[in-house]
Structure 1
Amino acid sequence: MAKIKICGLREKEDIEFLIQFSVDYVGFIMYPKSPRYVGNRLKDLLSLEIKAKKVVVFVDPSYEEVKKALDYGAHLIQLHGNEPLDFAKKIGLERVIKAFRVKNKGFNLKDLKPWKKAYAILLDTFIKDLPGGTGKTFNWEIAKKVVSEGYKIFLAGGINLDNALNAVKAVNPYALDISSGLEASPGKKDHEKIKKLFILLNF
């Protein structure tokens, strides 16, 4: 069964609620334009005790910003912008999840090849001027093809209670990345939806 990453967390009580579940990754957004931006709360949120790996999500950050997140206790850095490979290598590719935004036509698998040694590849839906958190699905046949090429894939983009099980069956990703699909409002998780997700996926 796919691992689970719950992203866009902003509230301490939501993270504490997740401790009872087998969540594998928790994600914190450090993109100021996002409604899920954690800003100067990042240090406190990363200090909370949870078994899940802590992922900090950036869009074209400086190395200093990334270094600070790692110093605060981030396990992984998710890059959602136009960051070059050399920047990721400076961080350490083994600590980088590199996001690619997928159009339903014209996605080139060759673009992924330089990133094969990254911790993982994240596939999200392409929407102009929106680097992530779209809440929209894309053609999962593309994701299925990427998985078949041997990539470790986090599948994002519109995953929710209605399609999570089908996403696992159809794509067989390494992990599902879910944010808006488990929310009561941007940055505030719906605890009942989280319970239902783990029941649905038999965790």
Structure 2
Amino acid sequence: MALKTKIKICGLTRREDILFLNRFPVDYVGFVLYPRSPRYVGENLKHLLGYVREDIQKVAVLVNPTYEEAKAVLDTGIDLIQLHGEETVEFAKKIGLSRVIKAFRIKDKVELDLIAPWEKAYAILTDTFVKGVPGGTGKTFNWSLAKVLVDHGYKVFLAGGITPENVKQAILTVSPYAIDLSSGVEISPGIKDYAKINNLFRQLEN
């Protein structure tokens, strides 16, 4: 089964969840390296990467890392770095802009002038703004704002409260390059729900 919209499942923490996902047409998997997140994998990252199916791209989620931290993560075999803090384009260029997914938390408008410098990044990820929380909120935002970026030619990963129940509407509304799910396919933070994952791909097949 080939899906037009790419699928990213983020917040993986367990070997068994990775092995389960390997059975599905997943394009990206994400691992959180932000210590304050309940989905933080830390030193376990390299071990978990060994279980990911070969054709799936591996993404590390970082918040305001140093250059040394980002470089060390790339050296583990990670394919892409997703930046969720106040990182600058200059910083991203040092680690390789084409390997960076830059996250923007959307409140009530899209600030194209802030996003424009990132046009050569691997992709732009749109997530819901929640004060003090860099991602994984489980809350949606006004998807028409993400559609503005798609209409401007950006490669958009749509995140923020995506579930098996609303995934089709999200794709129809935004036409994103990829859909990014985390809490929408979980039992609890970092523990994936296999029934929800099955339902997700059933929805996408129809």
TM normalised by structure 1 equals: 0.97
**Which 4+ stretches in 1 moved above 6 angstroms?**
none
Deviations 1:83-137 (A, max 9, x none): 1111100111110000000002x43111110000000000000111111111110
8 Å Cα contact 1:47/1:73 also seen in 2: no
Structure 2, unmatched stretches of 5+, are: none
- Aligned match of 2:10: 7
Percent identical among aligned pairs is: 60
Of the three residues 58, 61, 66, the one matched with 2:65 is 61
Query: 1:149 is aligned with what amino acid?
Result: H
Q: Matched residues in 2 for 1:22 and 1:127: separation?
A: 30
Report the residue type matching 2:79 in the other structure: H
Tell me which amino acid in the other structure corresponds to 1:94: S
Aligned to 1:137: 140
Question: Does 1:27 find its partner at 2:30?
Answer: yes
Opposite residue 29 of structure 1, the aligned amino acid is V
Deviation at 1:48, TM superposition (A): 2.1
Q: Secondary structure at the match of 2:39?
A: coil
Match of 2:77 among 73, 76, 87: 73
Counterpart residue number, 2:104: 100
Partner residue of 1:46 out of 46, 49, 60: 49
Structure 1 stretches of 5 or more lacking a match?
none
- Counterpart CA distance in 1 for 2:110 and 2:130 is 14
Q: CA deviation at 1:41?
A: 0.3
Report whether the alignment pairs 1:202 with 2:205: yes
Counterpart code for 2:22: I
Offset from partner CA, 1:4-50 (integer Å, 9 cap, x none): 00000000000011111100000000001100000110111122241
CA distance in 1, matches of 2:186, 2:99: 27
| Mapping for residues 114-133 of structure 1, pairs under 5 Å | 114-133=117-136
How far apart are 1:192 and its partner, in Å? Answer: 1.1
The one-letter amino acid of 1:144's match is K
In 2: Cα distance, 1:49 partner to 1:92 partner: 23
1:42 is paired with a residue whose SS is helix
What is residue 87 of structure 2 aligned with on the other side?
83
How far residue 199 of structure 1 moved from its aligned partner, in angstroms, is 1.1
